[in-house]
Amino acid sequence: MIRILFEILVPLVAPVFVYAAWMAMEKRRAEKLGHGEAPTWAEAPWVWLSLAGLVLVGVVTLGTVLMQETAAPRGTYVAPRMGEDGAIVPGYVERK
């Protein structure tokens, strides 16, 4: 559950949070200067925010996959072979 949160949800909504912070700063600036118009949510670039979120999800997922350690079995692999009675003994890993 936490992996889904950090790998998908946070990168997906991060651009919206950044845009909301920018809007709050612009609103304060417009009120302080007394001129200009503060941006509204209706004017938000939703397509670009969505695309940025999807790109971030892809980058985070790819980074997670590339940095993930593979859990290789520890030990020595013994290949399949033919036993003394002619039966095939399957391969296995001898643990150290």
Task: Show the domain range for 63.
Answer: 2-94
Non-local (6+) Cβ contacts of 39 within 8 A are 23, 26, 27
For residues 95 and 22, what is the distance between their CA atoms, to the nearest angstrom? 57
Dihedral over alpha carbons 76, 80, 81, 84 (to 10 degrees):
90
Find the helix or strand (DSSP H, E) in which 82 lies. strand 81-82
Dist. CA 68–CA 63, nearest whole Å: 8
> What predicted TM-score, i.e. pTM, was given to this entire model?
0.61
pLDDT (tens, 9 = 90+) of the chain, 96 residues, equals 787 888 888 999 999 999 999 999 988 888 888 877 778 888 889 999 999 999 999 999 898 888 877 666 678 889 999 999 999 999 998 887
Number of domains composing the chain: 1
